Amino acid sequence: MELRESRKQRKRERNGQRQGAGEADAGAKMADLRTSDPAIQQALENMLQVIKSSFESLKRAKSDALQKAVDQLNQRLDAQDEKVKELGEAVEEQADAQTMAALE
């Protein structure tokens, strides 16, 4: 029984190590990246700026594409609304014509 428990314990430990392996610290900030070497600190800050600018650029590119898709969808909806309106008017005219014919 003891052998079985130790296997389970080792398995739990391995699973715990795997789960924690790829996680980032959500509370990490730029202040956590301070070093005593000014050259390394400058390199870290430069890398952070490059990452930020790349992210902003990517965000704008995705936003522009998304806005274009939304505009196209709105145009299609407007065209469909116009067709529905025309069909409604045609149905009303047909109903009016049938009503007039029935009254005569």
Q: 0.75 exceeded by the pTM?
A: no
Q: Is the pLDDT score of 21 beyond 60?
A: no
Burial class (CB in 10 A: 0-12, 13-18, 19+), 58: exposed
Contact 21, 32 (CB under 8 A): no
pLDDT tens digit string along 35-87?
Answer: 778 888 899 999 999 999 999 998 888 888 888 999 999 999 999 999 999 99
Report pLDDT for 29. Answer: 59
Mean per-residue pLDDT, 18-23: 52
**Higher-confidence residue: 13 or 99?**
99
